[in-house]
Amino acid sequence: MSTAASRDMPRGATASTIAQAKVNLFLRVLSREASGYHQLETLFCRLELGDPVTIRTAVRGRSLDCAGESIPPGGLGPVERNLAWRAAVAFAGAARWPNDWAIEVTKRIPVGGGLGGGSADAGAVLRCLNALAPRPLPLPDLLALAATLGADVPFLTLDAPLALAWGRGDRMLSLPALPERSVTLACFPFGIPTPEAFGWLDDERGMFPPVSKVRRVEEITSWTGIAAIAHNDFEEVVAARYTEIARALATLRGMGGADPTAFAVLTGSGSTVAYLSPSDADHARARDGRLAGIASRLMTTRTTDAVVGVEVLG
Question: Where in the sequence numbering do the catalytic residues fall?
Answer: 22, 152
Query: Cis peptide leading into 271, omega within 30 of 0?
Result: yes
What are phi and psi for residue 65, nearest 5 degrees? -120, 115
Write the CA distances from 253 to 75, 244, 246, integer angstroms: 33, 14, 11
CA distance 252 to 250: 6
Kindly report the length of the chain. 314
**Does residue 255 contact residue 262 with C-beta atoms inside 8 Å?**
yes
Closest CA to 134 of 87, 92, 89: 92
Q: Tell whether the torsion through CA atoms of 166, 172, 173 and 177 is positive or negative.
A: positive
Q: State the distance between the two ends of the chain, measured CA to CA, in whole angstroms.
A: 20
